[in-house]
Structures are given as structure tokens and as C-alpha cells.
A and B are shown apart, each in its own frame.
Chain A
């Protein structure tokens, strides 16, 4: 499956900005199951310096500096991504059990184990917590295949929590989400990650896109899509597998990965620092995911 993803972010400031130094995680990375065939990022006004590199986690990162005075900044990323469906064959009822995962993880001779252990620890937005462990516990049995347990957790989050975009903001703490059982995809991803880490299993945050299909009989609206988030869990024998608690899915052919990290803070789509800009600004985001023939 080949997708064309375009993602436009428009800032409007209440006063002129003299300089904007920024860092974007907007271009999809390559993974074992997807290849980014082309990726272009456009900034208006044009930046004087713009450089693409790979960050600590191997994500594609774009740095740019705009020196022209502006009150509107528009950043558009467009990429063609080929997603393959290998993960569909993942049989959840086989493979390492929870006990196996715990037993194998300390072995540092497996390089990925060392990297995965980074995703066991507290991160800026996800802290291990006994309440998270208690919530997750019913899904995990030591002798049951680990991914089957994770799938169960995903289903429970989907069932127990209400999708509510008005309830949370970027900085809403996990405790609040857990207490009120409401949130959006970012919260549910953080929640699942917190649950896994609290039980001693590595989990990381994935940001990306989901192809949406319009209701039958209606035409799909351009720009109506949004960026999405889910999580990935690690087993020393099977590697990483992605789960989407917002939609109660394994992340398969319709999930396009942009970047991963310990949590949202590692992969913020756009962050930076501006000189000027006044006190207020408004922000519009338009995302479009379309299938290429």
C-alpha cells in the first residue's frame, strides 16, 4: 500500500516574529514495515538554514531557522510512504510468555534488549505507578504469551475509556486520564505505555497517521484526517509490535509511522523558539492521507 501524506501547520501570531528557530518531526521514518519513498518539507517564509538529520531514536528530523519577519508561518510536510502488511501474520497466541520476556530482557548480548530497556523507565510524560500496574494486572499472566496479554490490555483500554477530544490538553497528566477514563489517542498511548512499564515491560510511543475511510456513500474530505498516536511493546524474541488502543487494533497496513520515542515529548511534531510574536497566536493543522494507485 502506498500513501501520500500531507500535513500542514499554520501559526498566526498577534505581533511580528523576528526569528523562529524550530525543529520538526514531520517526515516519516523507515521501519521494518514501511519505506518512505519521498519526503519534502516546505516552510513559508523560506528558512535561511534548513537541515535534515536523524535523531537519537533514528527519527527523521528537520531543523530550520526563519529570519524574515512574519506573522504567519506555514509548515507543510508531504511524503509518499509504502507500507507492507507483514505484521498481519503475527500470531498472538504463540511466542514468549510474560515470564520469558522478564527472563530474557537482562541479556545485554542482544543489542535490542539494551535499547529496549530505555523504554522501561520513567519519561517526561509517563511515570510508572502502582495504580497503572493495578489497572493492567488482569490482562497479564506470567505463563501467557506476552503479545496476547498486550492485545488484551489494548482491548480493555478501548472498552473502558471514552474518546473525548475536549477533555484533555497536551499536558494533562496520566492520573487524570486514568481517573476520569477519558482522553484522546495520545492519552491512551501514554496510558498503555505507563501500564506496561509499571509491570516491567518495555513500551514506546509512536506518532503517525491513520488512513480513515469515509462513511459509505460520502466523499472523503481533504484535510479532515489528523495525526495519530499508538504504542509499541517489546519482546526479546519477537521484537516490537504495534497496538492501537484508540481503535482496538494492531497497527497494520493503515498505520503510517512518523517517529517514535519514550513519549510525546521526544517526537513533538513541531517545537521551537520565537523572538517576538506577542502574547497570542492561533494554530491550524490540516492532515490528509490518501492512497496512491
Chain B
């Protein structure tokens, strides 16, 4: 897609309304305290605070997934200067939003009901019938209670004359309230006294109303079980889904976590099905139910609409509400307001023309250069076209498009939004801003969030800001004329503590599966890192190493990381070892490489971010950063002392596993994570022993090989102390195979696994599960091992055959255990697929 032509119209800044300064250049009354405080803090200090703000957002995992530059999670960007609105003016804005939400609710109910707006000539039928957001399947979906539009958001700008106008309406799954809350939390922590002394209205009222409303919508009675339905970790605003779910205490789920049975909606958990009463969805209308809406959707739940009709679940906002996002509606809202309310709207919309109307169309065609053309539907493929930026050829192409399908197009007056102060480096500049306000239904009207999400354009001109959420944002402070009484406690989202993470008994199967793989990949990466680190050191230190020994060590790396052919290929082995070793570390495309495993681990953690504590998140962030810098740091090869870089990553991984051991409650989440770790560690240690100790190494290198294995398992010191330096295979095996107190010994992993398996939910009456049977067999094989026999290769033999046999057997048993576990506990249903339409109607 061609980049938006950059247009900067310098005059605009001069004529735009300035939020902070009057025409005389003096700061406006309500800005004086803040601007004074900023000056008082000084550039140095203010820059420091800005950095702190950045760090807090990063630690909270605040991101916005931006697809315009490939799939990357952008850090949520925030300006440290809030937008200020004084309470008198806010009163007008607030009642304007409330009134508009009430009107849109009436419009929504009418369009999916009697359609009096069409029959009485208020809205041309074609405006509704031609809009893809008008979902005929949603005709009879009704939430209990009068209001059907539960959540609403409006984007507003202030024009040069100081008046505020509404630029667009959000009514399907309005986003941004979570980011607004995160901005507020971060600001109040970074500027505590400034925040306190400015008497800022709190956001808690809005979230409190939201909870009450959601609860009241429960069709099944009792305390509502609420889930937030997210399209998944790759959605643009996934962070917010997570954040809101945590803040409100709701479970975050994906479509595949849910199922429809017996006419109700259920969450699939390890313990079975749990009913969901209210679904707060962040999946767009058309994707909610593949049975009736888009049949290629994997994001929704098959049968959801019918469960709504049966009155067994409430979905917020009800599907179909996207019709309110029809951009042409703004043209007819004043008439609708007179029709329903008998008066004009307090907050006007931006002047809008709908090309389906003959007069409007003529006006638009005649005035194209001064207008901004959009489609009625928020269509990703059509970019908003500001007429002023188009060439003559582009203008005539646009004219032809409009004439070909006029009902699809609207035009709006070119807007010149007000500018607000923005901190740039060491100074304050003025950039255009848009405010998104939020309202939630309740008590027959709407509660408006006192504040909202302010977004700042990177340059004058509003187009860049309106399209995406991912631009620079600001907290929005509505200033009370006097300090607010603290009737409600400040709405602090409870930081996810380690004690809470993963304790929920009813984890979706998807979550335990991801935690299991998180455990496995982190252990896999750690084992690879440890062995690589040791091998790097040995190759570097030992000049006189025999070629055979070198090959043994290098092949151990290939075996452990399963990066075949690797050093098993004689040609690779003959070359400089460094190249292949670095590839085993860095090549993200190579299954088994360190970077591959760490990426997979981070991905698993991403999918279950809500079960990661904030401390764990911090370490994961560092790890992710470290991963990015790794190629640069390792570029120097052996000279760059790669073992130290690898050691750094090992430290991060140890911090993670330490956190899991020390701070996580032993719920199902922890259990599966640890099962994953133990399985992987058992398999890795078997791999090292098979590569290094099964072959008989002649001469002085025997000690070196022994040492490598012990070092990579971190037990070399113990070994030396216990056996006083005398290297023997039997004593090495004793320590790595059988020593029950060594947390890296094979038997230790098997014993922990055995304990864990007993804690997993089993079918009633089932005594010995197949996975447990396999594990017991593995344990007894190891326990019955005769060390002396295992260590003995027999005269003239190159391999310790008994040892190899035993290890191979245990390896198979552990792998099978893992397979059985997955079979039993993880969700194997492939996604729903459409039932094919039976046939073409084909009689003659």
C-alpha cells in the first residue's frame, strides 16, 4: 500500500486552537499550574520522569501490535504532558457524549426492530441496507433490559473556533478505555504530587459502572461469570484485552476456549466445562459466530447467536451494533435526534455528506478538493482520501469511484484539530490531538468516563491520528474545581502478583498447554545454552584436544539441540566449528537453535500473558531485548567470548525458574509448567549422557569429556568435592543418574514428575493412568541400574552398550509420558469447519 502522502500545511498550526495557550500567548487558566510545575521540575528531571514513564509502561507489557510495519509489538508510546480540560467545559462534553450514546442506542434498537427511522423518512433505507455492518441475522438479538448499546466511544476534536465536534463513533467493540486506564496509572505513579494537587477526576466511576452493568446483564441469575473474548495475542489491542480482563477480574478467553452445549456457552477447562453468563467481546461483529455470520471465522464460537436468542448468554455489545459505525449516519443524526428526542444534539458531528443522496453527491463532486472522502464502512482497503492532497488524475478517479457506487461513500469537511503541548526532547511543542471519550450504559442512561484517551498526531493534520490507535498518547485530566472527596478508593488495578498468577483453578486447556510448552522450551533453551557455553570454553582452552574428542563434544551439541545433520556431517565437522556453533545459537529458522527455543518460549508466554506475573513479565522483556542484541554481540566469534553472552541468557532463565519455584502458587498452571520443565530436563540430560558417556574415550581426554558433561549440568564442583578429583564414569553416573538430592539428576526429574502426575485431575475411579504407568517403569529402570555394569564397556568395545540401552529406554518412556499427557489434557479439537451448503438449487 502506498504511504500516505505527507502533507503539512504550516498555516494550520497558526490557526489551530491551542489547548494550553490563548491567542495572547499566555497560558490558559487551567493549564497554569501544570505548565508551572513542568518548568519548576526542569528539563533534566522531566526527561528522567519521562524515562520512568517509559519503563513503567514497558514493565506492564503495554504494547500496541502494529501491522503496518510487519508483525511487531510496539511499546505503547505516551507523552508525559497530559491534556487538561476544566470541569465546566467537561460538563458540556460529558452531557454531549451521554446524549449521543442515548440517541445511538435508540437508533440501534430501531434499526433491528420496527425501523421507524426508515419508514418515517428520517434515514434513507439504502444507507442502512447497503452497509455491511447491518447484520440481518441480528434482528432479534436482545439483551435483557432496555439498553442495547452498552459500550460506546466517540472521537472528538476541537475546531479553531473552540467548539468540539464528534469525528467518529465506535460501537462494536470500542477500544481504548484500557489504555486510558494504563496511562492514568502510569502518570499518577510518575507525577504523584502533581497529580494529587491538580485535583484530577478519577476514572474509577466508569469502571465501577461497567462492572455493575455487566453483572446486571447476567441472564442466568447469581453472580455473573464473565469472560473477555479476545481475537488473540496478535490483535492490535491485545494488551488492553489483557489489562481490562485483569482489572475487572474477568477471564480472558479466545473463541477456541469456548463451546456451545445444551443451549449455553461454556469455557473448556481442565476440570470440565464452566458456564459463561456474560461475554465482553473484543471480536468484531461479523466474526462472532461462523454458523450465521462469516463462516470462515475462527475467532468466534459456533452457535453463539442462537444461545443469545435462547436468552442464555449476554454478549456485550450485542453483535450487529457495528451498523452504528456507518459513517453516513452522522449526516442523519440531527434528524434522528429530533425524531426521538425532539431536540438538536449538544455536540455536533463533523459536517458529513452521504453520496447516496443526490444533492449531497452533487455537492461532494463539486467540492472534492476541500473535503475528505471515506467509505461508509470502515473498510481496510480504502484509505481516507483528503481531497486537498490528490492530483487532478486522482481526483477524477475518485469521482468515478463515487459515481460507480455512490451509497458506499461519505465526505467530511476537512478538520483542523486543536494542538496540545507535547514534550519533545527538552522542549514543549504543539501537536494536533484527538480525544476518545467512553460511555457505558446503566441506570437508563450512560456513565461517561471523566477523561479519556488522547492521541497526538506526529505532525499537523489530523489524518495520521485517526486511523490507528498506535500513535503517541496522553493521559486526559479533567480538573475538578475543588478536590474530589475520596468516596471510592483509587481505582488501582491490582498488580498481578506471583501469588495470584496461575492460581485460578479453572484454567482453559489452551492455557495449561501453553504453560507446559513454556516450561519445555525454557528448559530446552537452558540445556542448549549450558552445553554450548561449556563446549565453547573447552574448545577455546584446550589446544591439544584430540580430533576424536573434539568431534564427540561437537556432535553432543548437534544431538542435544536436534539440529541434524550439524556436526554429524563430516564436512561440517572438518570446517571451523565456530560457524556451525553460532548458527545453532542464532539461526531463528533452525528448529532447536537457542534463539528458536527462546522465541517459542516467549511466544507461549505471550499467549498466556495473563497468567504471567509482572515480575516474570519484566524478566521476559529483558530476555526478549537480550535476544535482539545477541547477533551483534556474538559477531566477534570466539574473540567475543560467547560463553559470557550465553551465560547472561542462562541467568535470565534461572531467574524465571527461580521465580516459578519461589513465588508461584502450586495451581494447575504451575503444575503443567513444571511438568514441562521436568520432562524436558530429563530428556536433555539423557541426551548429554548418551553423547558423551556412552562412547569410550581413550587416554587423557576421558577426563575432559567427563568434565564437560558435569560442567554443563552444574555439578562439577560437587563431583570434585565428593570424589576428590578422581574421574570415573561410575561416579559420574551416580551423580547425574541416581543422586536423589541432585536437582539435575535424572531420577530427580522422574520423582518430581511422579508427584505432579498424582496432582493432576483424573477420571473418577482411575487408579493408574497410562502416563503414570509409563513413568513408574522409567523410574524403576533407573533405580534398578547397576552402575558398575553400566560404566563397563567390555574389553575392546567402543561403546557402553548397557548404558545406551537403559538411556534409550528411559528416553522413550519419558517421551511417551509427555505424549499421553498431551492427549489427555490438551484440547485437540481442530477448529470448527463450515458445513458445506448441500447443493445448488438445480431443478429444471
User: Which A residues are closer than 8 A to B by beta carbons?
Assistant: 9, 11, 18-23, 48-49, 51, 53, 55-57, 63, 65, 67, 108-109, 111, 114, 117-118, 120-122, 163, 165, 168-170, 184-186, 207, 209-210, 212, 225-229, 246-247, 264, 266, 268-277, 281, 283, 285, 287
B842 surroundings in chain A (CB, below 8 A):
165, 184-186, 226-227
The 5 A-B residue pairs with the shortest CB-CB distance, nearest first, are A226-B843, A273-B302, A56-B136, A21-B303, A184-B842
The reply to whether A108 and B119 form a contact with Cβ atoms under 8 Å apart is yes
A272 surroundings in chain B (CB, below 8 A):
291, 302, 834-835
The reply to whether A227 and B841 form a contact with Cβ atoms under 8 Å apart is yes
B309 surroundings in chain A (CB, below 8 A):
51, 53
Q: Chain B's nearest CB lies how many Å from the CB of A128?
A: 9
The reply to whether A269 and B140 form a contact with Cβ atoms under 8 Å apart is no
Number of A-B contacts (CB under 8 A): 151
B139 at the interface (CB under 8 A from A): yes
B838 surroundings in chain A (CB, below 8 A):
9, 269-270, 283, 285
B841 surroundings in chain A (CB, below 8 A):
184-186, 207, 226-229, 264, 269
Question: Contact string, B810-844, partner A, CB cutoff 8 A, digits 1/0?
Answer: 00000000000000000001101111111111111
B260 at the interface (CB under 8 A from A): yes
B295 at the interface (CB under 8 A from A): yes
**With A272-B834, A275-B829: A186-B840 Cβ-Cβ less than 8 Å:** yes
Q: Chain A's nearest CB lies how many Å from the CB of B122?
A: 9
The reply to whether A51 and B843 form a contact with Cβ atoms under 8 Å apart is no
The reply to whether B263 and A49 form a contact with Cβ atoms under 8 Å apart is yes
- Residues of B contacting A: mostly: loop
Closest Cβ neighbor of B122 among chain A residues: A108
Q: Chain A's nearest CB lies how many Å from the CB of B823?
A: 16
Q: Chain A's nearest CB lies how many Å from the CB of B128?
A: 9
B836 surroundings in chain A (CB, below 8 A):
281, 283
**With A53-B309, A55-B139, A56-B137: A22-B261 Cβ-Cβ less than 8 Å:** no
Q: Chain A's nearest CB lies how many Å from the CB of B788?
A: 53
User: Which B residues are closer than 8 A to A by beta carbons?
Assistant: 115, 118-121, 125-126, 129-130, 136-137, 139-140, 259-263, 290-292, 295, 302-303, 306, 309-310, 405, 407, 829-830, 832-844
Contact sample, A vs B, 20 pairs, CB 8 Å cutoff = A11-B835, A20-B835, A21-B832, A22-B835, A51-B306, A67-B262, A109-B121, A117-B126, A170-B837, A184-B842, A225-B843, A226-B842, A227-B843, A228-B843, A271-B295, A271-B837, A274-B832, A281-B836, A283-B838, A285-B839
B829 surroundings in chain A (CB, below 8 A):
18, 275-276
A207 surroundings in chain B (CB, below 8 A):
841
Closest Cβ neighbor of A210 among chain B residues: B843
B126 surroundings in chain A (CB, below 8 A):
117, 120-121
Q: A117 CA to B118 CA in the complex, in Å?
A: 11
The reply to whether A275 and B832 form a contact with Cβ atoms under 8 Å apart is yes
Q: Which of A9, A11, A55, A170 is close to B840, meaning CB atoms less than 8 Å apart?
A: A170
Q: Chain B's nearest CB lies how many Å from the CB of A119?
A: 9
Closest Cβ neighbor of B842 among chain A residues: A184
Starting from the known contacts A108-B118, A184-B841, 4 additional A-B residue pairs (CB-CB under 8 Å) come to: A20-B835, A49-B262, A273-B835, A287-B843
Q: Which of B140, B263, B833 is close to A273, meaning CB atoms less than 8 Å apart?
A: B833
Q: Which of A23, A246, A276, A283 is close to B844, meaning CB atoms less than 8 Å apart?
A: A246
Q: Chain A's nearest CB lies how many Å from the CB of B754?
A: 33
Closest Cβ neighbor of B839 among chain A residues: A285
The reply to whether B302 and A21 form a contact with Cβ atoms under 8 Å apart is yes
Q: Chain A's nearest CB lies how many Å from the CB of B194?
A: 54
